[in-house]
Amino acid sequence: MRLLIEGRVLKHKYTTGVERYVKGLLMVFDKSRLKYDLALPFGRNNKYFQHIWEHIYLPLKSAHYDILFCPANIAPVIKPKALKLVITIHDLSYMYFPDAYSFTFRKYYGFIIPRLLNLADTIITVSHSEKEALTKYFPSLRNKIYPIYLGIKEEFLNCPLIHEKEKFILYVGSLSKRKNLMGLIKAFKILINKIPHKLVIVGIKGGTFKKIEIPKILKDIPSERLIFMGQIEDDERLMELYRKSSLFVFPSLYEGFGLPPLEAMACGCPVVVSNVSALPEICGDAAYYVNPYNINSIAEGIKRVLDDKDLREELIKKGLNRAKAFSWEKTAQEYLEIFHKVLENK
């Protein structure tokens, strides 16, 4: 099997969920000694140049391979006739939350995604929920769509537990509007005089997302109670935050998968998440669910878990077990099965 993997997102300045997924998958491919070549954009680290590289250079290079695997939503719009194309579509959030993305991004994805879905021999989604979302808009593609979950790094699964938590609530993720960060901050404001905890936010602005607006509400919250830490690339630092936090809250309006709640579970942190999209599928019975469109529901969920010691301990126990179900080794094995199946259908 001559396999070429497109690694464009590895050139991105910041690491978000898709970048972490690609790095995790390549890490376990390397451990399994899978033979593949990695295609990386050359020259300038410019996103427009990278897309030109994707659609012009990559098809030429892929002519020497059996399979081209594009793991990050985008692939060339043309391909050699004999080449098999496998693409991972993480979500269609640009369709559901257009205001969270730039005009250029929406138009580009709106033009290219339908063409890629028809061109691909196999489409991977990251959850059954996302497969259903795709088939809702593209019903004719159902039989070539396969859900494969993401994995969790072994370092997180083997994270030493801390039983005496610190007085802070943690959020980890991009600061896109669809992540509902403002909903979390508004819920925190409701609770600010009822709990002693700080709210710690880990994530970046910018990229393809429109920057969130910093509303007047922040002026009503003391700066020492609301901490923006920016992007954290180092896993050790991130695990330390997960381990120490009293509660992890993820009130996203939409997720194709949702890796941060699982990472928090693996580190022994109780989790509150939204009851929408893929999150109930991924988190199972190991999370406390809230309505992300209802600020009071978010606030009540946070207060309930912080106040109820038995509930917290139950969520921690269930979370540790739930996290063990997601390994990169299992993910990689399912991808290998897909690659072989694609070749058999030549």
pLDDT-derived band at 344 (thresholds 50, 70, 90) equals confident
**pLDDT mean over 91-119:** 88
What the block records as the tokens of 321 is 């077990």
User: What's the whole-model pTM score?
Assistant: 0.92
305 band by pLDDT with thresholds 50, 70 and 90: very high
Tell me how far apart the alpha carbons of residues 243 and 156 are, in angstroms, rounded to a whole number.
10
Give the rounded percent of residues in the chain with a pLDDT score beyond 70: 95
**pLDDT(42) > 90:** no
Please tell me the distance from the alpha carbon of residue 291 to that of residue 296, in angstroms, as a whole number.
9
pLDDT, tens only, 55-89: 999 999 999 999 999 999 999 999 999 999 999 99
List residues bridging with 89 in a β-sheet: 125
3-state secondary structure of 274: strand
Distance CA 329, CA 43 (A): 33
pLDDT of 211 > 80? The answer is: no
- Kindly list the domain boundaries of the chain, sorted by start residue: 3-151+327-344, 154-323
According to the model, what pLDDT value does residue 207 have?
A: 46
Taken in order 32, 233, 10, 130, is the CA torsion positive or negative?
Answer: positive
Q: Is the pLDDT of residue 231 over 90?
A: no
* Cβ–Cβ < 8 Å for 235, 256: no
Could you tell me where the DSSP H helices lie in 227-278? 235-244, 259-266
| CATH level 3 topology of 3-151+327-344 | Rossmann fold (3.40.50)
Domain pair 3-151+327-344 / 154-323, same fold: yes
- Provide the percentage of residues in the chain whose pLDDT is more than 90: 73
User: What is the pLDDT of the chain when averaged over all its residues?
Assistant: 91
For the stretch 155-179, pLDDT in tens is: 999 999 998 999 999 999 988 888 9
Half-sphere exposure of 316 (CA within 13 A, CB side): 22
Nearest to 184 by CA among 293, 278, 267, 108: 293
Write the pLDDT tens digit of every residue in 214-227: 566 777 888 899 99
**pLDDT of residue 115 exceeding 60:** yes
The yes-or-no verdict on residue 147 having pLDDT over 50 is: yes
Radius of gyration of the chain (CA): 21
The third-level CATH classification (topology) of the domain covering 154-323 is: Rossmann fold (3.40.50)
